[in-house]
Structure 1
Amino acid sequence: MTRPATASTLFLGVDAGNSKTAALVSTASGEVVGAGRSGCGDIYGAPTPEAAVDEVLAAIGAALAEAGGDPAELSRQPSPSAPPAVAGAAFRLAGVDWPEDAEYWDGALRARQPALLRRTVLNDGYAAIRCGEPSGVGIAVAGGTAAAIAARGPAGRCWDMGWWGQHAMGATGLAGEALKAVFLAELGLAPETGLTRALLTHYGKASVAELNHWLTRREGGAGPRDRTSCARTVTAVADSGDPVAVGIVREQGRRLAMYAGVAARETGLGGTGAPVSVVLSGSVLTAPGSPVLAALLEELPAHVPHAAAHRGVLPPVAGALLDALAENGVAVTPDVVARVAGTMPPADFLAT
């Protein structure tokens, strides 16, 4: 993929989460000339904040090296006589939830990558906006393992859900509510549900007691990913018409729509009568025939009038790259978006 490029024309987009960190380097035309990948870049999720910084820097170094640049240039003090190693960068990082989180990253980057003079640091939820709305004005609603919601208004005001989210959503929400329903039904405190047989089959357990023990035992029990692995089973049971599962799915859609409404209100979106772009991403919402998506679309107009919901066409790291371009004077035209899309690394680069 390496295509030598003039250093001063390079732009950097970084998307960091718990499962991986991805970085892309492009020219001003949107041609992706370097990509790098590493581990957890969330300062809340990594073993230490410093470890998260190490992972982000590793992804950047790999991307810049593939682009034909010199990663060492980023660690040197900038010289007035030399062009910058990267003309602009957008860091979209899980765990940037409070002002002090952004300040931590700013200090870490200033100390370890002083040549990255033109950079912005925001929560990773913002990366998804330009994945479906090139202007960068709109709401991103992601439903994956958890949920992330972020918005940017027409005057540039930003809001992201962060720790304001008080409801479990995404696969975590589906699994948690389904297991609760099964355990309460076993105790005779809630209606019987087809989720019981379905989850026992999914987990290969003979009884609800065995399932509860496995999920909660101190040693030799389930891991965090085991607990959320049943999300698609829950939506399948909802599709079969089970009332309890249907209720869980509908509540998930309502919760996502409710927080999207907060995002619209906080950023000045939706008050003019013009369409409000709502970009959807994440496996829970983009799975074929997703009943959670159907529930969200049914609830959305009540919370975001004039919502125009559509699926993101690019992965979040590409949205971060488009932010870097837009924030540094490059018009994000359809040609630029198409060029980014057409020069992305192979699909397995982002596989988790």
Structure 2
Amino acid sequence: MTDPATAGALYLGVDAGNSKTAALVSTASGEVVGAGRSGIGDIYGAPTAEAAVDEVMSAIAGALAQAGAGQAAPAGAAFRLAGVDWPEDAAYWDAALSRRQPALERRSILNDGYAAIRCGAPSGVGIALAGGTAAAIAARGPNGELWDMGWWGQHAMGAIGLANEALKAVFLAELGLAPPTALTRALLDYFDKPSAAELNHWLTRREGRAGHRDRTRCARVVTATAQGGDQVAGDIVRAQGRYMASYAGVAARFTGLAAAGAPVDVVLSGSVLMAPGSPVAAALLAELPAHVPHAVPHRSVLPPVAGALLDALAESGVRVTEAVAARVARTMPPADFLAT
């Protein structure tokens, strides 16, 4: 229960990734009163680690300013940050926050994969499967055990996985080393290139080559081609679902969820899995029972930054109920705040 003495307190949730960093500030009731957004907050993905810290600080400053918090520190904060993959990454952030936000004493620092758990399971116990630009998979067990995929993932997933496998299929088909595929025409049309050779050149040449986002933005073309009946694209999509389901099984084993024999909340989030009619989500759900037999799938009802905020509330002693989660949802900033 919330301590009446903290009824006026504010709480901070931060979700940092490779497309953006978002921060939310709320009251103990879950009413969002401040929001801030900035750039890349992943210490592995930003130009420098300090640049990632700058972006996170910028998002926090924007959220606190909008909340009218002045110099007051939030009563609790949860940082869910891409790139917190090893103990030294968390230590780096702990030192950075001590230096840049010394008044923010009550805080937790975890990989961004954890943010999505409460977006579908307010208890915070369960598995989060996020498929966006990349994939983030994390779980919290019934006794508080934690596991996240981090650098243990040995398969490219999300938009990166779809794009990489599709382009490989096109180039191998061009060489006669793989079956012809409708992906060739679909990707040439999408990227406006006259041939597979020109596409390969644009993606790999020394100067003026395509950027990371240029490469991954074709993910929707891959899923659409699969839905159109192309066997090669369909195999790529099914493999993506199989990979994600298998890592969900690992998460369940390492956190005690598999041994509990009880229903396991599995929360899906991210643009690849949340797209209307997503064939990757369908493939994942078809594979999931083989790896997590008692899985109860949920589609995320909130963005990950809202899950980070709910973590901040829960870790500060606020009972996170369906009503609190619903209030966060009702008071979120406009949808374009999170658009990428």
TM-score when normalising by structure 2 = 0.96
Q: CA deviation at 1:129?
A: 0.4
Q: Which digits, 9 at most, give the CA deviation of each residue in 1:296-325, with x for residues without a partner?
A: 011101111111111000011110000000
Aligned residue for 1:208? Answer: 196
Q: For the Cα contact (< 8 Å) 2:39–2:55, is it kept in 1?
A: yes
Q: Tell me how large the CA RMSD over aligned residues is.
A: 1.2
Q: CA deviation at 1:189?
A: 0.8
Aligned residue for 1:28? Answer: 28
Q: For the Cα contact (< 8 Å) 1:7–1:69, is it kept in 2?
A: no
Q: For the Cα contact (< 8 Å) 2:78–2:311, is it kept in 1?
A: yes
Q: For the Cα contact (< 8 Å) 1:41–1:55, is it kept in 2?
A: yes
Q: Which digits, 9 at most, give the CA deviation of each residue in 1:56-90, with x for residues without a partner?
A: 1111111111111114x5xxxxxxxxxxx211110
Aligned residue for 1:67? Answer: 67
Q: For the Cα contact (< 8 Å) 1:145–1:172, is it kept in 2?
A: yes
Q: CA deviation at 1:221?
A: 2.1
Whole-angstrom CA distance in 1 between matches of 2:89 and 2:209: 33
Q: For the Cα contact (< 8 Å) 2:8–2:28, is it kept in 1?
A: no
Aligned residue for 1:251? Answer: 239
Aligned residue for 2:170? Answer: 182
User: In the alignment, is residue 344 of structure 1 matched against residue 328 of structure 2?
Assistant: no
Q: Which digits, 9 at most, give the CA deviation of each residue in 1:184-235, with x for residues without a partner?
A: 1111111111111111111111111111111111112211111112111111
Aligned residue for 1:219? Answer: 207
Whole-angstrom CA distance in 1 between matches of 2:146 and 2:325: 22
Aligned residue for 1:15? Answer: 15
Aligned residue for 2:81? Answer: 93
Q: For the Cα contact (< 8 Å) 2:134–2:159, is it kept in 1?
A: yes
Runs of 4+ in 1 over 4 A off after TM superposition: none
Aligned residue for 2:3? Answer: none
* Paired AA for residue 290 in structure 2: A
Pick one of 127, 132, 137 that aligns with 1:149.
137
Sequence identity (%): 80
Whole-angstrom CA distance in 1 between matches of 2:51 and 2:217: 27
Query: Secondary structure in 2 aligned to 1:313?
Result: coil
Query: Secondary structure in 2 aligned to 1:296?
Result: helix
* Paired AA for residue 38 in structure 1: S
Aligned residue for 2:101? Answer: 113
Aligned residue for 1:262? Answer: 250
Whole-angstrom CA distance in 2 between matches of 1:8 and 1:117: 18
91-100 or 47-56: bigger deviation: 47-56
Whole-angstrom CA distance in 2 between matches of 1:20 and 1:247: 31
For these two proteins, the number of residue pairs brought into alignment is 335
